[in-house]
Amino acid sequence: MSGFLTTHVLDTARGRPAAGMTLELFRIEGGERRSLKTVETNTDGRTDGSILPEGEFAPGLYEIVFHAGEYFSGYEGVGDPPFLDLVPIRFGVADPSAHYHVPLLVSPWSYSTYRGS
């Protein structure tokens, strides 16, 4: 069985899923970033399907770049430039048969992540 990669983005400032946030997925190879996919979150703050589905998942380093600045543009109190713009989360995949879930809890001024289930 092959593993896969998912995410869930929660807008902690508004207390709801972050619908419509752009995410970019990269694979890090030899110190270089190779673009794999660009997607947008749905109304539940998730992507419509795995970011990296079974069969495309391999051990190595990956990075998801969350476009938080664009998502929060127009939010009251967000300056120009915003405090947070692009939020990169770089992580390693050791077990290509596992499910890796990389959620993001984000506001215009802070974020956190963890390995979810």
The model scores a pTM over 0.85: yes
Q: Considering the domain boundaries, does residue 116 fall inside one?
A: no
Distances (CA, A) of 15 to 11, 61, 79, 104: 6, 31, 21, 13
Within a domain: 115: no
pLDDT of res. 3: 81
Whether 114 is in a domain gets the answer: no
- Whether 117 is covered by a domain: the verdict is no
What pLDDT score does 109 carry?
A: 96
- Is 71 annotated for ligand binding? no
Give the three-class secondary structure for 8. strand
CATH value at residue 36 = 2.60.40.180
The total of structural domains in the chain comes to 1
More confidently predicted of 89 and 50: 89
The answer to the question of whether 34 is labelled as a binding residue is no
- Note down the domain range covering 102: 4-107
Residue 27 labelled as part of a binding site: no
